[in-house]
Amino acid sequence: MTQIKLIVVGLIATFTSSALAANASAAEWHVNGTPLATTVGLSTTTKVEQSLVLTVPSLPLTLSCASLSGVKPELVAKASGRASELVFGGCKVTTGPPGCELVPNAKGKILTEPVEALLALGSKAPDDKVTIKPQKSKNVFAEVPFNMECGSLSNTQIIDGKIVSDAPTGQTELVEQPLVGLGTKEPTGLTVSGVAAYLSGQANVKLVSGLKWSFK
């Protein structure tokens, strides 16, 4: 496998709570104060304010990625989004067995399958959530090929589940909207080899046009 394959399940979502689903259906994208009627392109690159870190405490394993980009990312009226692919870049093993790394051919990249996203309004802006999952129904989040120095992690490991992130300013119109990984506050999000994993960090997302956007 020449690239690290990620199949994201969990930047947007299917919600396991009926209350969240109800809130998601009520939410709506806005661009320059106007409800989105069709689709609008997102920038293919994000600003990573805090490294995106996947932590698996029980292995132990930590993967840190320095960048996040997308292929054909867009918002879709009324409250969803999609991308043909997400690319986590500059990824490296920061905690693991001595010598454990991603396979060289991966070039530090983790690639996803086509993903979709949904949002959910909270009672106030800091409670808003964005969940990311694959467009396909499979629960696989990632296939990550490690080198032979990774012990029980050697060869391809499966990450599955979903990513749920905070959207702390989502109800305020801004050029850049931050998405913040919940880390251990999202205990049912991801698993690696069947054990709990957590994603933390922050990526700021903007539109291709540079216009302000929000959801409410």
pLDDT, tens only, 103-151: 999 999 988 888 889 888 887 767 789 999 888 867 777 788 899 888 8
Mean pLDDT of the region 194-201: 92
Q: According to the model, what pLDDT value does residue 125 have? A: 63
45 vs 119, residue with greater confidence = 45
Decide: pTM greater than 0.75.
yes
Q: According to the model, what pLDDT value does residue 143 have? A: 81
5 vs 116, residue with greater confidence = 116
Mean pLDDT of the residues in the chain: 84
Which range has the top average pLDDT, 99-108, 177-186, 188-197, 199-208? 199-208
Say whether pLDDT at 9 is over 50: no
Q: According to the model, what pLDDT value does residue 137 have? A: 67
Say whether pLDDT at 91 is over 50: yes
Using CA atoms, how far residue 181 sits from 86, 178, 202, in Å, is 16, 10, 6
